[in-house]
């Protein structure tokens, strides 16, 4: 899967995985505090946080596997730095990464506009919810609660992971830190085509 990747792409993905593993673990604690106030549904609106590295890595690198690998790596690192869920979290990371990867694969890895990024966030939400239904006893919950949980998670995936991931990546691109990556090359090509059209 990594044969066609450049070393700097692998390094960037690894750095993103480390950074967001820390962010993910931090938001577990935030979620625990919030859940203590309003109950378990508190996690649903913030689920997009735990999908975001897959969208950012795929949006910047634009190669098959970026979403899956980055999310899996972040989960592995999160386990190593102290997530109490333990190794099972790695499987959750794989499932979430597959959900995002499916959206990019559906476009043939050729489209990375905002709606595809939102779709990737939704994909992570759907896959993770299906996984949770199988292993976390969601079937015992009231149907109305399940619908609310699913809706909040999908919205969170689209907005926080999809649009949020785009916003963060575009902000990083504006600093010049992503020169030489696919996101930078595509932006340069668009500006070039626009200039030729105007000229």
Domain boundaries, the chain: 7-198
pLDDT computed for residue 3 by the predictor: 66
Residue 187 in 3-state DSSP?
helix
Q: Are 93 and 28 a contacting pair, CB within 8 Å?
A: no
Q: How many angstroms separate the Cα of 184 from the Cα of each of 16, 108, 166, 193?
A: 17, 19, 13, 14
Q: What is the pTM of this model?
A: 0.91
Assign a CATH topology to domain 7-198: Arp2/3 complex 21 kDa subunit ARPC3 (1.10.1760)
Mean pLDDT for 85-112 is 96
Q: How far apart are CA 20 and CA 8, in angstroms?
A: 18
The model's pLDDT over 113-162, given as tens digits with 9 standing for 90+, comes to 999 999 999 999 999 999 989 988 888 888 998 999 999 999 999 999 99
Tell me, what DSSP letter sits at residue 136?
S
For the cut 90, the answer to whether the pLDDT of residue 85 exceeds it is: no
Quote the percentage of the chain above a pLDDT of 90. Answer: 74
Phi, psi (deg, nearest 5) at residue 112: -135, 35
Nearest to 56 by CA among 85, 13, 3: 13
Mean pLDDT of the chain: 91
The model's pLDDT over 28-53, given as tens digits with 9 standing for 90+, comes to 999 889 888 887 788 999 999 999 99
């Amino acid at each position: 899967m990594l044969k066609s990747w450049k070393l700097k792409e692998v390094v960037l993905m690894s750095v993103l995985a480390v950074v967001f593993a820390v962010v993910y673990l931090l938001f577990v604690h935030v979620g625990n505090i919030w859940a203590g106030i309003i109950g378990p549904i508190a996690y649903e609106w913030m689920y997009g946080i735990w999908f975001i590295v897959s969208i950012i890595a795929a949006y910047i690198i634009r190669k098959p596997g970026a979403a899956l690998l980055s999310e899996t790596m972040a989960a592995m690192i999160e386990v190593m730095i102290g997530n109490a869920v333990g190794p099972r979290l790695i499987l959750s990371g794989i499932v979430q990464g597959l959900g995002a990867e499916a959206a990019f694969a559906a476009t043939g890895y050729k489209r990375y506009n905002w709606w595809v990024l939102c779709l990737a966030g939704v994909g992570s939400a759907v896959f993770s919810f299906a996984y949770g239904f199988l292993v976390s006893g969601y079937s015992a919950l009231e149907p109305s609660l399940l619908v609310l949980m699913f809706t909040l998670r999908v919205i969170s995936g689209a907005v926080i992971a999809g649009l949020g991931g785009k916003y963060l990546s575009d902000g990083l691109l504006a600093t010049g830190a992503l020169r030489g990556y696919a996101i930078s090359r595509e932006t340069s090509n668009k500006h070039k085509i626009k200039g030729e059209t105007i000229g």
